[in-house]
Amino acid sequence: MIYSHSLVYVDLHESEVPWLKIFTQSPKKEFSECSREEKEIIWEMLDIIETEMLEYFKPDKINIASFGNMLPHVHWHVMARFKNDSYFPEPMWGSKQREGFELTTPMEPFIEKLKERLHARFD
């Protein structure tokens, strides 16, 4: 877990691309079931994570998704995508397009900076 708040938390999804997930602390099936405060925090976290990913990784695109078909718990995926990643232009759940993608930018400095921003904003 990268960051935990009383209403939501941010977790790292193991992947070849930078991929974070924002979850509600309490299990809710649909976004419409979230409180106004949960919704506001989620939107703000999406903005912070996207901004940090764009600045640090310089991806070709950011993908933001909320599916929850396999896990019926409100959560959002935020992924930095690159034209040469294994799945681009498909979604990360799609068909693999090529082999050999390696992220050359280390994750650790990004995670530390993101933790600092989230703690500064929400603690």
The pLDDT of residue 71 is: 72
> What percent of the chain clears pLDDT 90, i.e. is strictly above it?
93
Report the alpha-carbon distance of residue 118 to residue 4 in Å, rounded.
9
Looking at residue 89, the DSSP 8-state letter turns out to be T
Give every CB contact of residue 70 below 8 A, 6+ residues apart in sequence: none
Could you tell me the pLDDT band of residue 24, with boundaries at 50, 70 and 90?
A: very high
The pLDDT of residue 72 is: 76
The pLDDT of residue 68 is: 72
CA distances from 52 to 26, 69, 79, 104, 111 (A): 26, 28, 11, 17, 9
Give the tokens for residue 110.
């990004």
Q: Which CATH class is domain 3-122?
A: alpha beta
Q: Where are the domains of the chain?
A: 3-122
- pLDDT tens-place string over residues 55-111: 999 999 999 999 877 777 899 999 999 999 999 999 999 999 999 999 999 999 999
